[in-house]
Amino acid sequence: MPEQKGNAEEKTEDWIKIELFAPAEMIDALSNFMTEIGSQGAYQESLESQSPNGFPDPSTGETLKAFLPVDVHLEWRIASLQTYLDSLGEIFPEMERPTFRTETIRDPDWGMAWKKYFNPLRVSRNIVIKPTWERFTPTGRDIVIEIDPGMAFGTGQHPSTRMCLEAIEEILLNDRSIEKWHVLDVGTGTGILGIACAKLDAKRVLCVDIDKKAVDIAHENILINQVEDRVEILDRDVATLAEPFHMIVANLTAKILIRLRHHLFRLLGDGGYLVISGIVEQNKPDIETHFLSDEFSLRRLITEKEWSCYVLKNEGRRL
């Protein structure tokens, strides 16, 4: 999305309105998913009774409406949504398959109303994600990460992000064989994973994203969390990087992970960890075919609902 200048009243942006039709039992998961792929809030409506032109009966489900920005990630967002709906249909074959339709609109009057859907959330034993506009009093060993998501991916509400944070926390707190961690966060979005690594005492964290808007948002979140001395944000393709890392974190989709596999393996130092997430149940066989080998062993598989996060280790020498 081009950089926006001038007063807020002068902004004109294209948006895609998504209307999701799904069983009521799926609505919460779909709402979280839409937030994680960049929706500026989502709201729910019950379906009306069936009419002669064939609209669903109220017992079949509800409608979820959400807005997505028209930017460089739109195609990926729509494809991710379709993959997610397909996976829900396979996991719950007894339920009506969820569907959606889209409409292009301009300047939706959302304002800042979407913020009411984002509250402080404990995502692991020690990590709490807090929106900048909410209050939270930490206790004990709490590590608080403040996030203003803007239009970027990653608030900690979706299982794929939570599982990444759990894996990061376990590795950085328990593996003392590496004294000064160097970490790469691929597709950083809001910067939440990179910030978590810095707050867990990684010495250097490099976050990359090809979305200029996400890079700007991540930079602001890094300043908010006061970790700018250890975290660097770049608007770069991971293919352009050369230095090795002790840990690489990539919360993407199976298709993108497989496409980036060569670069992820190339950049992971001997003895390093690779944390990959954003993988639905139906894509696990492809991920395991491409990523598991004698050289890269599976150290942990974290699952939540239909989502999986793999923790792999490069079985070689230390950096």
pLDDT tens, position by position, 167-226: 999 999 999 889 899 999 999 888 999 999 999 999 999 999 988 888 888 999 999 999
First to last CA, the chain: 38
Confidence of residue 107 (pLDDT cuts 50, 70, 90): low
Q: Would residue 137 count as lying in a domain?
A: no
Quote the tokens at residue 272.
Answer: 């390093």
Which of 106, 131, 166 is the endpoint of a domain?
106
Q: 318: helix, coil or strand?
A: coil
Domain residues for 91? 14-106
CA angle 110, 112, 113 (to 5 degrees): 70
What is the DSSP code (8-state) at residue 55? Answer: P
Q: Would residue 193 count as lying in a domain?
A: yes
What is the pLDDT, as a whole number, of residue 53?
42
210 and 304 share a domain? yes
101 and 163 share a domain? no
What's the average model confidence in pLDDT over 55-79? 74
201-to-227, 230, 263, 272 alpha-carbon distances in Å: 10, 9, 25, 16
Query: For residue 292, is pLDDT > 80?
Result: yes
Q: Would residue 297 count as lying in a domain?
A: yes
Query: For residue 318, is pLDDT > 80?
Result: no
Which of 86, 106, 126 is the endpoint of a domain?
106
Question: Is pLDDT larger for residue 295 or for residue 184?
Answer: 184
Q: How many domains does the chain have?
A: 2
- Output the average pLDDT for the chain: 83
Any idea what the CATH number is for the domain that residue 87 is in? 3.30.70.120
pLDDT tens, position by position, 108-161: 554 455 566 677 888 888 999 988 888 888 888 899 999 876 655 566 777 888
Query: For residue 100, is pLDDT > 70?
Result: yes
Model pTM score: 0.70
